[in-house]
Structure 1
């Protein structure tokens, strides 16, 4: 894992136009510390998103109504593209095909514009008119109070687990820290470091830049970045001999088939999925298949009862036993 001495603020401002940085600097609010997204849309209001919702920013740094906000122009977007691509978008053609670039620090910049198709598939983007800076923030220790529920101490193995919540519920943040705990071990909790392998299809778990994780995912953790989940699980199974396979946002039939192969190899699986309940999970064929097979030994539900990312409940879906309930 790459050592990170710079703060998210220092990292992100290296890839934002100076004019935009100065507007955020002028705000009396702690925007650099609280913002989760900074959105630049051509000719439309400059917007920041945090835990309390959306905020529109004037050139003075004041929070204002959308119609009063600063509206990024073509020069702002061109400068932003120069900064995130080191002045060479062509060199990032593969990343552009996916619609985002990851920059040092693990921060991801999503892009919108006009898709260029070749043989019916997206080859690249042009006329880019929107950028979304998603600021990566680690929450070290978020999973530590709950990691023991995922460890079978008697057999010295990790239990198969699924972390679920509605979108933007903190799943990836929790998953990252759970991988860190398992990959580093916790002698104070009585378990060793496990060999963890992460398939990070969208570069959100480890926030890798040029293949190197920018976020802490554990000492004994290997990361396969920007690879489709199903294919990546097979690659890691063959090449890295993991004890635990970790991946984000499963749901397809291909994901389910790959997870079956991982299970047959005796490797634990920990994943996330978008859902608010087990009933919602059942509506997706791939997940329904895994639930019917009684794959998962622990399902952890995240909610917002005490803020985003609250662990609401941990259950054994096979027996229905509740192992933890918030409050």
Structure 2
């Protein structure tokens, strides 16, 4: 956690270390707001460091650590509203926005910081990936509300496809990592294990990146996170027409909800996906509610020999007949 703790002044660093102690593996976010207590968000609860309320000097210290004393170097990142640091951790920023012609130029007077802890969970997708493979990988859409583990699962799917699993050989994977969340790259080098046959296009818009990777890296599987725009959808459809398997995610509660979105309707009309993985918000992220085939039948229900639930990379036993 040194990459995270170095961001803070000594008195805040000591307070966080004392509060978290040996629970770093449970920590999801550190929320740092000017003149407010520091918020610590764990997998199953929220805690506060009430004795410290950061002031403007503390905020300047954090900004200097993030930018290595040169905000000019981070102009593009400031426009996007986040910075990825060593270890793949992502720092979200908010404050007063500077616009020009209705376009965000930068965030000024940054007074809100959200440090999202990047924790690669190896084999978290191992119970899921057999459902996505039938002699070859199938185009798959992960669906779930925020903080349900979509990116964590996709990151491990990328690693498993790129390195192979059980008796399945490694496959060429191209990742368009627009927000640096899958690979957590620093200067183009992924900080997470993304597999031996995986190529990453970091900080590139999804639509442009997909076409670039198809032309330059000839992938068998193309992976992007959080699609939504018409350009994203058009690029995905072009990729499938080129014979490339696509794996991606989208925010949503269920299939019925996302099918109503005008920008996503072409994906269903053209039957782009053969698998849909639905995630549900529980006490911990990574709860798989169901895996559906191209006919939108829950194929998890067909496994009669077990009554388990796939969650966070391990199998937890339940007695619901409609879950595994």
- Determine if contact 1:23/1:58 at 8 Å carries over to the other structure: no
Q: 1:77 to 1:256 in 2, by over 3 A?
A: same
CA distance in 1, matches of 2:8, 2:172: 37
Matched with 1:12 is 4
Matched with 1:66 is none
- Determine if contact 1:40/1:132 at 8 Å carries over to the other structure: yes
The Cα of 1:31 is off from its aligned counterpart by 4.4
Q: 4+ runs of 1 displaced by more than 3 Å?
A: 28-31, 304-307
CA distance in 2, matches of 1:305, 1:89: 39
Which segment is superposed worse, 167-176 or 36-45?
Answer: 36-45
The Cα of 1:306 is off from its aligned counterpart by 7.1
Matched with 1:105 is 87
Matched with 2:143 is 164
CA distance in 1, matches of 2:27, 2:283: 19
Q: Is it true that 1:180 corresponds to 2:162 in the alignment?
A: no
> CA offsets per residue over residues 46-84 of structure 1, 9 Å max, x none?
11112223321133xxxxxxxxxx211111111111111
> CA offsets per residue over residues 238-296 of structure 1, 9 Å max, x none?
11100000001112211110011101110000001111111111121222220121111
CA RMSD of aligned residues (A): 1.5
Matched with 2:64 is 82
The match for 2:290 among 290, 300, 313 is 313
CA distance in 2, matches of 1:26, 1:152: 49
CA distance in 2, matches of 1:183, 1:309: 21
CA distance in 2, matches of 1:203, 1:322: 32
The Cα of 1:230 is off from its aligned counterpart by 0.8
Matched with 1:128 is 110
Matched with 1:54 is 46
Matched with 2:28 is 36
Matched with 1:220 is 197
SS across alignment from 2:161: helix
- Determine if contact 1:17/1:76 at 8 Å carries over to the other structure: yes
Matched with 1:242 is 219
> CA offsets per residue over residues 130-186 of structure 1, 9 Å max, x none?
111111011100111221111221xxx211101111111100000000010001112
1:290-309 → structure 2 map (5 Å cutoff): 290-304=267-281, 307-309=284-286
Matched with 1:210 is 187
Matched with 1:276 is 253
Q: How many residues align?
A: 303
Q: Structure 2 length normalisation: TM-score?
A: 0.89
- Determine if contact 1:252/1:285 at 8 Å carries over to the other structure: no
> CA offsets per residue over residues 210-239 of structure 1, 9 Å max, x none?
111101111111111111111111111111
CA distance in 2, matches of 1:215, 1:14: 20
CA distance in 2, matches of 1:96, 1:182: 33
